[in-house]
Structure 1
Amino acid sequence: MQQGNAVLTLVDGHDDESPSSAPDLGLHGLVLLAQFHGIAADAAQLAHEFGRNGESFDETALLLAARKLGLKAKVSALPAARLPMANLPAMAWDAEGRAFLLARIQGEQALIHDLSQRRPRQLALAELEQRYGGRLMQVASRASVLGQLARFDFTWFIPAIIKYRRMLLEVFVVSLFIQLFALVTPLFFQVVMDKVLVHNGLTTLDVIAIGLVCMAVFEVVLTGLRTYVFAHTSSKIDVELGARLFRHVLALPLAYFESRRVGDTIARVRELENIRSFLTGQALTSVLDLLFTVVFLAVMFWYSGWLTLIVVISLPVYALISAAVTPVLRKRLQDKFARGADNQSFLVETVSGIGTVKAMAVDPRATRTWDNQLAGYVSAGFGVTRVATLGQQSVQLVQKLVGVAILFFGARLVIEGKLSLGQLIAFNMLSGQVAAPIIRLAQLWQDFQQVGISVERLGDILNTRTELPGSRMALPPIQGRVSFEQVHFRYRPEAPEVLAGVELDVKPGEVIGIVGRSGSGKSTLTKLVQRLYTPERGRVLIDGHDLALADPAWLRRQLGVVLQENFLFNRSIRENIALSDPGMPLERVIHAARLAGAHEFIVELPEGYDTPVGEHGTGLSGGQRQ
C-alpha cells in the first residue's frame, strides 16, 4: 500500500470563479493528483482540450484526461473496508457524487482533501465510511510504478556486486580450494590410524606429514589471499554505494530534512556500512561454506548412514532455535537503533550549540540528559547481547550433544567391526566441518535481523522521492518577472495556512520590500520562488512559466539569494563567496565582497581571501560572519 505523506498540491488558477459557475471537483482533484506525482497540469487547459463546454468531467473523461497526463488511472467499486489497502492518494466520490481526495489512512484516522472547501481534513475512519459512496479512482504515474518495483531492499546492492563479479568469482574459487583441503585432511588422519599405526608404515607417515605441511601452507596463503581480495573488493563497493547514497541525499527535498533530526539522518546513512559488510563479507563466505556442506554430508554418508542421520537431524533443531530467537531479537534491535539515533541527534545538537550551552550554563543539565540517554542505549544493547547469547549458546549445546552422540554410537560401531577407528576419527572431523558453517549460519541469521533493521532505516532515505524527477526541463533564461496566482501554502497538513490567496506580480527590474510581523510568511515567499517548497494551491510563475515544470537545480543557479541565516562552510573566504561558481575570477569575488562591505576587514586578515573561516565560520567574529 502506498500512501501520501505530504500535503497534496493543486495547480489552480481559477479561484475567481463566479458563483454561477460551479467548480469541477473531479477535474480539480485530478490536477491535484497529477501534481502529487510530479506532473504539471492546468484545469483550464484540460477543460479546453477535452471541450467540456462548462460540463463537469465524468468518470470516462477523467480517465481520458489522466491518460493524456501520462497517468495510469482506474475507477472501481471498492468496499469501504478495503480502503486502507488501496493505492493512496486516490480520488473518491461521496453518496451525492461530490469528489474528494483520500490522502492517507493511518490507524483509525484518515486524511482527506475536501475539494469543495479546498483544504485538508482529518476524519475518523467511521466518518470516512459514512461519507464514502463506494467509487474510487486510483492513480499511478509510470515513475511511481517503477518506484514501487524499485523499492529499496537488498536488490539495491546487486548492480555494484555484479560489477565486481570477477573478483568475487576469484574468492569463490579460493574458497573452493580451502574446502577441498578441509575435506582431504580427515582422510589423511584415517590413513595414519588405520594403515600407518597398524602396519608401522613410517615411509607412508613421512609422505602424509609432508602432504599435511604443504596443505597447511597453501591453506594459510589462500585464506590470506581471500581476505585481501575481499577487502579490496569491499572498498570499491563502499565507494560506489556511498557515492550513490550521497547523491540521493542531496536530491531530497528540503521538507525531508526539516522534518527529521540531523543525528537521525546521519545514523541512517551509517547503516549502509553494516549492510555492505554483511552482503560482501560474512554472508557470502558462509553461503559458500554452506554449499560445500552437501559434499561433506555425502562423504560422511559413505562412511556411515546412521551417524550421518544424527548430524542431519540436528539441522532442523538449529533452525528452530533461530526461529524462536528472531522475533525477540528483532524487537530489541529496533529499540537499540532508536536509542542510538536519539544519542546521535542529541550529540550533534549539543556540539553544534556548544556556545549557547556554555553561555546559559546548562552544562550539568546536558550532562544528565546524556547520561540518561547513554544508559538507555547501553541497556538496549545489553538486551540484544543477552538474547543473541541465548541463541548462540543453545546452538553450541546442540552441537556438543551431537558430538557426544557421534562418539557413543560410533564407538559401538567400531566395537562391532562395522567401522574402523580411523574412519570414526575422520567422520568426527568431517562432522565438525559440517557443524561449523551451520553454526555460522545461525549467527548469520541473527546478523541478518540486524541488517534487516538497517535496511528499513536506510529505506527511509532511499524510498523518499527526490525533487529532481527526470521529466523536469530547463526553461529559457530568466528575465525577472515573478508572479504569484492565488497561492495557498501550509507547512504541514494539520497546520494553519501560512499564505492564503496571495496575488503578486513583480516586473523585471523592480525592487520591492515585503514587511510584516514575524511568522507572516515573508521567508516562505522566497522559498516558494526558489522551489524549495511547492504551493498547496495556486501557481508560482517566473516569466510566465510555471515553476512546477522547472528543473529546481537549473532555477536556483539563476537566482541570487541572501539567506536569513547564512551557513559558512569550513573553507576559505574566497571559496565561500564563490560557492555556486568555483571558477569565479578573484576580481568578481572582491567586487561581491565590496558590495557587502566585507572587503576592508578581509584584506586585513593574515591570508586575505584565502583565510579559512573554520567550521560554521568560527574563525570570524559575529559581525564578520554576518
Structure 2
Amino acid sequence: MDDTLIHNQGLKVLIWVADYYKKSITEDQLIHALGMNSDIPTDWQLRECADLIGLETEYALINQHQFEHLPLPAVIKIDHSWQILIKNDAAQLILIKFTSNNQPETNLFNPNNEDYSVLLIKEKIEKPKKQPFGLSWFIPSIFRQRFQLRDIFILAAVVQVFALINPLLFENIIDKVLVGRSISSLHVLAIAMVGIAIAEPLYSFIRNKIFGYMSVQINAELSGRLYQHLMALPISYFAQRQTGKIISRIREMAQIRQFLTGSTLMLFIDLIFVILFVAILFSYSVVMSGILVGSLVIFFILWLILGPIIRQQTEKAYQSDENTTSFLTESITGIETIKTTATEKYFIRRWEKLLSHQLVQNFKVSTRGITASQLMMLISKITVALLLWVGVKEVLENRMTAGELIAYNMLSAHVTQPILRLAQIWQDFQHTLISLRRVGDILDEPIENESQGIVSAAAVQGKIDFQNIRFRYQPDTPEVLKNLSLSIKAGEFIGITGPSGSGKSTLTKLLQRLYIPQHGQVIVDGMDLAVADTVTLRRRMSVVLQESILFVGSVSENIRLSQPDASDEEVIHAATLAGALPFIEELKGGFNYQLSERGLNLSGGQRQRIALARALLTKPDILILDEATSALDYESQDVQILINDL
C-alpha cells in the first residue's frame, strides 16, 4: 500500500472518531494546527491531533483475548495502516478502513494470536477552571519521567547505604584493629573498603547519568510547552508589552527549570536519608545528636528570617535586569533611527544609567546571599566544634569509643552537608518564586482560541460584512472605528483610503480576528467570526503588510512559509506573479540566497515582492494588501499589470 495513503488514513480515521463524539474538525485544520509539512502524521502526531480535538488517547498492545473487553470505538494498526475498530449489533468486531477513493469499507475482524497496536480513545472530561501558573504546572512533565525517577531513587539509596557502611568500617578499624590488634579483621575490613570505594562512584555515575538524561527530557518538554503557549497568545498581548520584557520573562523559565531539575531534586532525595542518619546518630549519643538537631533548628529559623529579605531584593534585581534587556532590544531594533537622528550619545547615557542601576541591584542580591551563606557556615563550624568537644569528653569518660567518635563525625557530615546545600537551594527558591510570578504573566494569559469555537466553512467565497463596528485599542484611548458598517461582495477588489490613524489597518486586523471589536460583528460568508476557528480563517487569507517581515533562511523558505510542501514550480510561479523572479535570479544562489534577520540584506521593494509571492503561493480566498506596494514603483509596468491581474 502507498505510504501516503496509509498515513492519510491515520487522519481520516481520527476525523471519523471525532464525528462519532460530535466534534467537528477537518484534515486541513489538523495539518496546520500541528505545523505538519505534509498529511503524513507520525503516531505521536496522531495523539496530538486527538488532544487538539478534545479526545484522550492511550497506546496499548492488545492480544486476541483482550478484545472482548476493549472500549470501542478504538483505532488499530494493521499492516502499518490505521483502521477503526467497532462492534456491530451481533457483537462482532468490525474494521472500517478507507479505500483509495476515500470511501469507508467495512470487514469482519478475527484477531490472530499476535499483539496489536491499539490507540484507545475517549472523550475528555471537562476540566475545572484553569489554575494560576505555579509549580503544579510542572508536575505532569516530571510525572512522565516517573520510571527514571524510580531508578534514580533506587541508585541514590544504594549510594547512601555505602555512605552509611563506610563510617562503620572506620569504627571497626579503630576499635578492633588498632585497639584489639586483629590483623585478620584488618584484611577483611580493608577489602570491604576497597570494594565500596569502587562501587560508590560507579553507582553515583549511573545515577547522575540517568538524572542528566531525565533533566534534558523535562527541560525540552517545558521549553516546548512555553513556546507553544506564547505562539497561541493573541496579538494584543504582544502589543501591550515590550519585546525585551517578554524575552526577559521567557529567560526566567530557565531559572525554574534549573531549580526543579538541577541539584534540588537530588538534594530532596538526599534529605530523605537525613532522617535515617539522624536516627542512627541518636543511637551513638543523645547529647551530641541533640546539639546537631539544635543546629538544624537554628538553620530553619535563619531561612525563615532571611528568605523574605533576599526575595524582596531579588525582585528589584529582576526588574532592573528586565529594564536593561528591554532597552537593549529596543536599541538594536531601532538602530537605523538612532543612526539617522545622530542620537547615539543620548542612548549610550541612558544605557549606562540603566546598567549602573542593574549592577547595584545585583550586587545587593549577591551581598545578602553571601551574608546568608556565611551565617550558615558559621553555625556549621560552631556545631562541628561543639560535637568534637562533647565527643572527646564522652570518649574520656568511657561513654563512647574512639572509633564511635570518628564514625559519628563521618555520619554527621551526611546530615550537615545536605543542610548547608539546602541553604543555597533556599536562596535559589526565592529566585524561583519571583520567576514563577513573572513567567505566569505569559502562561496565565488566555490563548487566542480558548473561548472560541471551531466553526469553519469548507471554503471562503469572500463576501465580507462589517456591522456597526466600534473598536478602541485600550479602554482609555479614543475609538478608532465608530459604528462602521461596510459590505464587500465576493470577488471584489477594493481600496480603502484615508488619513493616517483613520483605522485602515485596524479594519484588516479585525477581519483576521487579530483584534476583537468592542461592539458589532464581522461576518464572512454569513459566518460570524466570533464563533469561527481563527486558524482556519487565516489559512484562507493572505496578508502583505507595509513593513514586510522576512525571516532568516533562504528566499525559497520564506516564500514557502505558509505552504512548506509547495513544489519548486509553484514557488517560481508565485515569484513570477509578484514580479520577484527577475531580481531573485540575479541573487547569488537564486532561491537559495540566504536572508539576514528581517531580510535587511534586501531592499524594501525586494522584501515586499517576496512577501507578496509568499501571500500568492497559497492561492488565498481573501488577499489583503495593507499598503503592501508602498516600496514599489507605482509607475512601473509590472506593478500596474499585477494590480490589474489581482
Q: TM-score range by the shorter chain?
A: 0.7 to 0.9
Tell me: CA distance 1:207–1:297, structure 2 relative to 1, closer, same or farther (3 Å). same
Match of 1:441 among 406, 422, 425: 422
> Structure 2: which amino acid aligns with 1:175?
A
Q: 1:454 aligned to 2:435?
A: yes
SS of residue paired to 1:486? strand
Partner of 2:275: 294
Question: Deviations along 1:476-497, whole A, 9 cap, x unmatched?
Answer: 1211111111110000011110
RMSD of aligned residue pairs (Cα, Å): 1.9
Question: Deviations along 1:44-103, whole A, 9 cap, x unmatched?
Answer: xxxxxxxxxxxxxxxxxxxxxxxxxxxxxxxxxxxxxxxxxxxxxxxxxxxxxxxxxxxx
Tell me the distance in 1 between the aligned counterparts of 2:244 and 2:127: 32
Partner of 2:136: 155
Question: Deviations along 1:413-459, whole A, 9 cap, x unmatched?
Answer: 21221111111121122112111111222221211111111111111
Partner of 1:350: 331
Tell me the distance in 2 between the aligned counterparts of 1:518 and 1:197: 95
Deviation at 1:213, TM superposition (A): 2.2
Question: Deviations along 1:123-158, whole A, 9 cap, x unmatched?
Answer: xxxxxxxxxxxxxxxxxxx9998343x321111111
Partner of 2:543: 561
Tell me the distance in 1 between the aligned counterparts of 2:210 and 2:359: 35
Partner of 1:214: 195
Q: 1:518 aligned to 2:463?
A: no
Tell me: CA distance 1:210–1:358, structure 2 relative to 1, closer, same or farther (3 Å). farther
> Structure 2: which amino acid aligns with 1:436?
Q
> Structure 2: which amino acid aligns with 1:168?
L
SS of residue paired to 1:146? coil
Match of 2:308 among 293, 312, 327: 327
* Pairing of 1:390-409 with structure 2 (within 5 A): 390-409=371-390
Tell me the distance in 1 between the aligned counterparts of 2:273 and 2:157: 8
Q: 1:305 aligned to 2:286?
A: yes
Select between 455-464 and 215-224 the one with higher mean Cα deviation: 215-224
Deviation at 1:530, TM superposition (A): 0.3
> Structure 2: which amino acid aligns with 1:595?
L
Partner of 2:260: 279
Tell me the distance in 1 between the aligned counterparts of 2:536 and 2:439: 28
Match of 2:568 among 568, 572, 586: 586
Partner of 2:182: 201
Tell me: CA distance 1:360–1:143, structure 2 relative to 1, closer, same or farther (3 Å). farther
Tell me the distance in 2 between the aligned counterparts of 1:375 and 1:177: 50
Tell me: CA distance 1:173–1:482, structure 2 relative to 1, closer, same or farther (3 Å). same
Partner of 2:62: none
Tell me the distance in 2 between the aligned counterparts of 1:180 and 1:607: 64
Q: 1:596 aligned to 2:570?
A: no
SS of residue paired to 1:581? coil
Deviation at 1:259, TM superposition (A): 0.8
Question: Deviations along 1:374-419, whole A, 9 cap, x unmatched?
Answer: 2222211111111111111111111111112212222222122111
After TM superposition, the score normalised by the length of structure 2 is 0.72
Select between 512-521 and 276-285 the one with higher mean Cα deviation: 276-285
SS of residue paired to 1:501? strand
Tell me the distance in 2 between the aligned counterparts of 1:230 and 1:373: 40
Tell me the distance in 1 between the aligned counterparts of 2:227 and 2:563: 21
SS of residue paired to 1:516? coil
Match of 2:147 among 151, 160, 166: 166
Q: 1:185 aligned to 2:166?
A: yes
Tell me the distance in 2 between the aligned counterparts of 1:225 and 1:370: 48
Partner of 1:65: none
Tell me the distance in 2 between the aligned counterparts of 1:173 and 1:336: 40
Q: 1:367 aligned to 2:348?
A: yes
Partner of 1:625: 607
> Structure 2: which amino acid aligns with 1:516?
G
Q: 1:266 aligned to 2:251?
A: no
After TM superposition, the score normalised by the length of structure 1 is 0.75
Tell me the distance in 2 between the aligned counterparts of 1:470 and 1:500: 25
Tell me the distance in 1 between the aligned counterparts of 2:217 and 2:351: 37
Q: 1:146 aligned to 2:89?
A: no
Partner of 1:73: none
SS of residue paired to 2:564? coil
Partner of 1:495: 477
Select between 371-380 and 156-165 the one with higher mean Cα deviation: 371-380
Partner of 1:86: none
Structure 1 segments, 4+ long, off by >6 Å, are: 142-145
Q: Which runs of 5+ in 2 are unaligned?
A: 1-123, 609-646
Structure number with greater CO (CA < 8 Å, separation at least 6) is 1
Partner of 1:478: 460
Q: What percent identity do the matched residue pairs reach?
A: 42
**Does the CA-based 8 Å contact 2:253-2:439 persist in structure 1?**
yes
Tell me the distance in 2 between the aligned counterparts of 1:622 and 1:504: 32
Tell me: CA distance 1:260–1:470, structure 2 relative to 1, closer, same or farther (3 Å). closer
SS of residue paired to 1:494? coil
Tell me the distance in 1 between the aligned counterparts of 2:368 and 2:389: 32
SS of residue paired to 1:456? helix
Tell me the distance in 2 between the aligned counterparts of 1:463 and 1:450: 19
> Structure 1: which amino acid aligns with 2:464?
V
> Structure 1: which amino acid aligns with 2:186?
L
**Does the CA-based 8 Å contact 1:612-1:619 persist in structure 2?**
no
Q: 1:552 aligned to 2:538?
A: no
Match of 2:517 among 532, 535, 553: 535
Partner of 2:632: none
Q: Which runs of 5+ in 1 are unaligned?
A: 1-141
> Structure 2: which amino acid aligns with 1:325?
L
